[in-house]
Structure 1
Amino acid sequence: MSLTLRHDVCATDTEDGMVLLDEITGRYWQLNGTATLILRTLLGGAAPQKAASGLREAYPQLTVERSGSDTASLIDALLEAGLVVPA
């Protein structure tokens, strides 16, 4: 499942990752570099497995299970917060 940002959510790069701003509520979320890597991969149209694979390439010490779990957790959190929708 690839994702897209909800139409009223904007993303801004930061020194350490990315900030997502919900323009309706004014709430924002700060993503670290790892979460940013995952989200950018998903926003680019890739499946979660590809995002997890990219995470392992960036951090070779991660296991397949951990990278998959971290990717799934981020997707769940972003969907629950209403920041992204399936593309």
Structure 2
Amino acid sequence: MKWRLAEHVSFTEADKGGVLLNEARGTYWQVNVTGAQVLRSLLRGNDVPQIIQHLSAAYPDQAAQITGDVHGLIEAARKAGLIQHEP
């Protein structure tokens, strides 16, 4: 399943993560470095299992919670209207 930014949403990376800006509403959503990595990977076409596998290898001491965190981030961003499935 491929994802894209919703219309009127831009994503800017920063040293400590990233910011998604909904230009239509004038609201923003800030993510930490790992959250920015998840969103970047998702928007590049990587699927969720690939993202989870990569993060679990990079952060083995947090592997137990990575799956829930990745799914939680994606669901929260989707519900906030920031990302959506590509048609």
Q: Does the pair score TM above 0.5?
A: yes
- The list of structure 1 runs, each at least 4 consecutive aligned residues, that deviate by more than 3 angstroms after superposition, is none
Cα distance in 1 between the residues matched to 2:62 and 2:17: 19
2:2 alignment partner in structure 1 = 2
Cα distance in 2 between the residues matched to 1:18 and 1:49: 22
**Structure 1 stretches lacking a partner, 5+ long:** none
Identity %: 36
1:38 alignment partner in structure 2 = 38
What displacement does 1:3 show? Answer: 1.3
Instruction: Give the counterpart letter for 1:76 in structure 2.
Output: E
1:79 alignment partner in structure 2 = 78
Contact 1:2 1:43 in 2 (8 A): yes
Which string of whole-angstrom CA distances, capped at 9 and with x for unpartnered residues, describes residues 29-86 of structure 1? 11101111111111110111111112112212122x4211111000110000000001
Cα distance in 1 between the residues matched to 2:76 and 2:15: 22
What displacement does 1:7 show? Answer: 2.3
Instruction: Give the counterpart letter for 1:15 in structure 2.
Output: D
State the number of aligned residues: 86
2:19 alignment partner in structure 1 = 19
Contact 1:37 1:55 in 2 (8 A): no
1:70 alignment partner in structure 2 = 69
Contact 1:17 1:33 in 2 (8 A): yes
CA RMSD of aligned residues (A): 1.1
Cα distance in 1 between the residues matched to 2:3 and 2:62: 23
